Amino acid sequence: MDPKKKIVTLCPACDACPAVEVYGDTVRIGEPNNQVTLAKDEWNILVEAILQGKLTKV
């Protein structure tokens, strides 16, 4: 696996479930044909909001 690539899936048993895929300076969230791509800075803002409790479970 490419050291700059990291994938976390909601269901590691298949490849159709949503995933977070980190590729260098971009992050893709979703599943095939239903994805959003964030820049590294946008991803970091999202993570910071979660860590600060601004985004919580729904």
Residues 10-40 pLDDT 10s:
887 877 789 999 999 999 999 888 999 999 9
8 Cβ contact list (under 8 Å, min separation 6): 19, 20
- Within a domain: 58: no
Per-residue pLDDT, averaged over 32-51, amounts to: 95
pLDDT of 39 reads: 98
pLDDT of 12 reads: 77
Neighbours of 27 (CB within 10 A): 20
Per-residue pLDDT, averaged over 40-48, amounts to: 96
Number of domains in the chain: 1
- Within a domain: 57: no
Domain that holds residue 31: 5-51
Phi, psi of 34 (to 5 degrees): -155, 65
- Within a domain: 56: no
* Spatial CA neighbour of 31 closest among 20, 39, 40, 23: 20
- Give yes or no for residue 1 having a pLDDT over 60: no
- Within a domain: 18: yes
- Within a domain: 36: yes
